[in-house]
Amino acid sequence: MRDANKHKDLILGRVKKNGCVLMLDFDGTLASIVANYRKAAISPKLRSVLASIAKQMPVAVISGRSLADIRNRVCVGGISYAGSHGIETFMARSRKSNSFIIPARTMSVFQRAKHKLAKVAARYPRVSIEDKGMSYAVHYRSLSPNQVVSFVNEAREIIAENHRDGVSAINDLYTFDIMPNISRTKGHCAREMFRALRKHNAAIPVYIGDGLTD
């Protein structure tokens, strides 16, 4: 992948000529990474800047958080949102929310894996659980190095048992996040949102994020 900083003039030139769609991650991008995921917040100043940008070009926030949670935390009108790594979306133009259809069997396997992961997490008092409906995250930033190794190994065993039948996982930024194993990622979602939101066929997508899923 090319370094955007080395091609800044070229990118800005294309944006001025053809416009763009700005897509942003939340945790680690719009909000700082914090020990307690519940306390992550966008600053009032940044919220104001985001609202101003949204008047000039299409903007979307694409997050691993649930759609309801990310809309509530960003709270900027006129922009589109995607939650649960792209499984749930809200489009600003239509003002409609949509959810990717997940097969019943896949959801059943996901629920079973979620239950097993909750049992493992219960043995580590310093972890916190975030049940996002369409995905399930265990935040283990507060564990000691030895506990991190132990927890991640146990969590990976659960995924290995259920991956083929319908569960995938992302282990990044001290968060173990499991979800239904479907062909749906932030990348798929970003591509769809770009095509739906762009004002010109020659517009360019600009995506900013900090994690593996970005």
Each of the 214 residues of the chain gets a pLDDT tens digit; together they read 677 788 888 888 888 888 999 999 999 999 999 888 999 999 999 999 999 999 999 999 999 999 999 999 999 999 999 999 999 999 998 999 999 889 999 999 999 999 999 999 999 989 999 999 899 999 999 999 999 999 999 999 988 887 777 888 889 889 999 999 887 889 999 999 999 999 989 999 999 988 777 7
Residue 199 CA to chain centroid, in angstroms? 24
Question: Is there a single domain that holds both residue 91 and residue 109?
Answer: no
**CB-based contacts of 58, cutoff 8 Å, min separation 6:** 21, 22, 79, 80, 92, 197, 198, 199
Same domain, 90 and 124: no
Does residue 29 sit within a domain?
Answer: yes
Query: β-strand 59-62 against 80-83: which pairing, if any?
Result: parallel
Same domain as 115, residue 48: no
In this structure, are 45 and 117 located in the same domain? no
Q: How far is CA 209 from CA 23, 56, 165, 188, in A?
A: 9, 21, 30, 15
User: To which residue do tokens 């995938």 refer?
Assistant: 168
Same domain, 67 and 15: yes
Indicate whether 83 and 123 sit together in one domain: no
Q: Look at residue 182 in the predicted model and tell me its pLDDT.
A: 85
On whether residue 87 sits in a domain, the answer given is yes
Model pLDDT, residue 191: 95
**Overall domain count for the chain:** 2
Same domain, 10 and 89: yes
> pTM for the whole thing?
0.88
Within a domain: 213: no
Domain span at residue 90 reads 4-100+184-208
Whether residues 94 and 132 share a domain: the answer is no
CATH number at residue 32: 3.40.50.1000
Which residues have C-beta within 8 Å of that of residue 3, sequence separation ≥ 6? none
Locate the DSSP E strands across 35-174.
59-62, 80-83, 88-91, 96-99, 128-131, 136-139, 167-172
Angle at 204 between CA 200 and CA 209, to 5 degrees: 135
Rg (CA), the chain: 18
Distance CA 122, CA 77 (A): 38
